[in-house]
Amino acid sequence: MPSVDSVSQGNGDPNTPSRTAGRQVGRWFSIRRRSLGMWGFVLNRVAGLGLVFYLMLHLGVLSLLTRGPESWDSFVGLVRHPAFLSLDVVLLAGIIGHGLNGLRVALIGTGILVRWQRQMLIGLGALGVVLLIVSAVLIFTA
């Protein structure tokens, strides 16, 4: 069986490429593409990374509970401020987006419902937007 390595060995071969492709991490976030699935991927990746960061933050903040009611309750008072509530809505958008698209990826990736991947994205996307709006309203009025 002919081996590809005999092609690539070269021996001073002038056709040896001048540089390898390198890592194009920017392509993870390039939406100038043609597939809805790409939107889902970008959303999941951005939201996922953001959520990991938030998770660490959240766990760190919880340590305030060990300092007693004064520390914790004043922190609670702080985050009632509309600026923080707005950040909560952003967080929720990330959670809903990542969660629903993740469900879609789980269904596709086991081979179930592959044919409906675009429909799922649109359907779950719409559901997500509704959930987000309802939650945002609840956050600001409660």
Q: Are 89 and 139 in contact (CB under 8 A)?
A: yes
Q: Indicate the residue among 48 and 129 with the shorter CB distance to other proteins.
A: 48
What does each C-alpha distance from 85 to 37, 39, 88, 91, 128 come to in angstroms?
31, 26, 5, 10, 19
Q: Are 75 and 64 in contact (CB under 8 A)?
A: yes
Interactions with other proteins, residue window 58-87 (CB under 8 A): 59, 62-63, 65-66, 68-69, 72-73, 76, 79-80
Tokens of 55: 């998770």
As measured in angstroms, the least distance from the Cβ of 57 to other proteins is 12
Interactions with other proteins, residue window 107-126 (CB under 8 A): 108-112, 114-115, 117
Per CB under 8 A, does 15 bind other proteins? Answer: yes
Distance CA 108, CA 85 (A): 34
Distance CA 96, CA 99 (A): 5
For other proteins, the binding residues (CB under 8 A) are: 1-4, 7-8, 14-21, 23-25, 27-28, 30, 32-38, 40-41, 44-45, 48-49, 51-52, 55-56, 59, 62-63, 65-66, 68-69, 72-73, 76, 79-80, 95, 99, 102-103, 105-106, 108-112, 114-115, 117, 138-139, 142
